[in-house]
Structure 1
């Protein structure tokens, strides 16, 4: 799936950065860029735009005002918003208009990619629900990771566990002898992975529940790897185990 998106920012340099990040992202299709929210609104009303990435403080019509207009449309679920702003005081307002994410300038490509991946997951779920019965809908079965200078599609079923490594994560795959190394935090990775399939069991580890081979005391065994369940994560893991064994 590719998402049609527009970028809106009255600062040319900030707008150029969004455009650059969009062009780096394979599942985004930039259909318009604007320095005016008023002009952008006319374009959005006349075209199929799924994702709007925009600043908040702009002349004539602010990003928050535009978001309220879009949120009031009958088909508002067809257009989602990611704010990119230098002001954190608007975060609560952003949640009120159901923005998918709130990027605080200056932000990295990793931050941007995490935000737009949420949008991709949202529209994939929406598409599945609209074409299937509710009990047939399922979560996306892959994620995109930035590995060196490219985006790599990784199937969730292939991930055995994820390990924190300095400013990176090591994503261990069943299909590869060596892990993928991606520049992101373990917390960001945790947010990308579906909670019904993956669980954080240690400050340095996330495990795939489907790949657990055995459990002994506070140790999870996945293939040749033995991963200790951290003290802060024992309660959640024991709850999972109690449901798994019933």
Structure 2
């Protein structure tokens, strides 16, 4: 992956050196270099910057002050910081503002690459975490009689509790699948962004809802009552659904 970054330092020689180091590093993409934090902040608000190589001791707005502003507006500017400074007394403050690393001047390319690689690992782990959250399975396996049956999630209309079993009602199937499991297990198995429990005996597929009232759901030819215990979550969904 490529990390979009900028360099901020009020010393021209230091700024040129870090820009050169960024250019030597294949996974870094230099989007801009700035001699003051105010211009850098304006750029961060406009462009998709992932990482800032940031000097601390600067006039007008210090690097630490910029870091605090970025931390207060993390939703708008979710980029991270590697501090570059000649003063080691700022190290503790750097970690307080959640800096990824701290380069003490004068530093060489090996030290720069080590800090940059740490940033790369951070962003790769972050990307994996996001992907994992966003991943939705396409199917599940259910025990039906003496075999495991593959069931596509998009084909499930609703799931109904039936004694020690559940009935899984499917699109274009006249008879439901009967599986030896509990509704609680099904609730844990089915992705919550696609399915909702609305009754002690029913889980419904949100994509297959045809119509809604405050107390019931129409799916195909079936009308399913929303019980009091599940009404709060259902009403939140209803408000989103009705826009």
Q: TM-score, normalized by length of structure 2?
A: 0.54
| Contact 2:45–2:77 (Cα < 8 Å) also in 1 | no
Gaps in structure 2 of 5+ consecutive residues? 136-243
Deviation at 1:99, TM superposition (A): 0.4
Matches within 5 A, 1:1-246: 1-75=1-75, 78-133=78-133
Deviation at 1:74, TM superposition (A): 3.6
C-alpha RMSD of matched pairs (Å)? 1.8
Q: Distance in 2 between matches of 1:40 and 1:26?
A: 23
| Contact 2:19–2:30 (Cα < 8 Å) also in 1 | yes
Per-residue CA deviations over 1:106-165 (Å, capped at 9, x if unaligned) read 001010001011111111111111111499xxxxxxxxxxxxxxxxxxxxxxxxxxxxxx
Q: Assess, with a 3 A threshold, how the Cα gap between structure 1 residues 77 and 128 changes in structure 2: closer, same or farther.
A: farther
Number of matched pairs: 136
Q: Assess, with a 3 A threshold, how the Cα gap between structure 1 residues 35 and 77 changes in structure 2: closer, same or farther.
A: closer
| Contact 2:44–2:77 (Cα < 8 Å) also in 1 | no
Q: Assess, with a 3 A threshold, how the Cα gap between structure 1 residues 45 and 76 changes in structure 2: closer, same or farther.
A: closer
Deviation at 1:42, TM superposition (A): 0.2
Q: Assess, with a 3 A threshold, how the Cα gap between structure 1 residues 132 and 99 changes in structure 2: closer, same or farther.
A: same
Q: Distance in 1 between matches of 2:39 and 2:110?
A: 29
Per-residue CA deviations over 1:194-228 (Å, capped at 9, x if unaligned) read xxxxxxxxxxxxxxxxxxxxxxxxxxxxxxxxxxx
Q: TM-score, normalized by length of structure 1?
A: 0.53
Q: Distance in 1 between matches of 2:41 and 2:134?
A: 33
Gaps in structure 1 of 5+ consecutive residues? 136-246
Q: Distance in 2 between matches of 1:93 and 1:99?
A: 9
Q: Distance in 1 between matches of 2:133 and 2:44?
A: 30
Per-residue CA deviations over 1:52-72 (Å, capped at 9, x if unaligned) read 001100000000000000111
Stretch deviating more after TM superposition (69-78 or 34-43): 69-78
Q: Assess, with a 3 A threshold, how the Cα gap between structure 1 residues 97 and 122 changes in structure 2: closer, same or farther.
A: same
Q: Please identify the structure whose Cα radius of gyration is greater.
A: 2
Q: Distance in 2 between matches of 1:74 and 1:88?
A: 26
Q: Distance in 2 between matches of 1:7 and 1:30?
A: 8
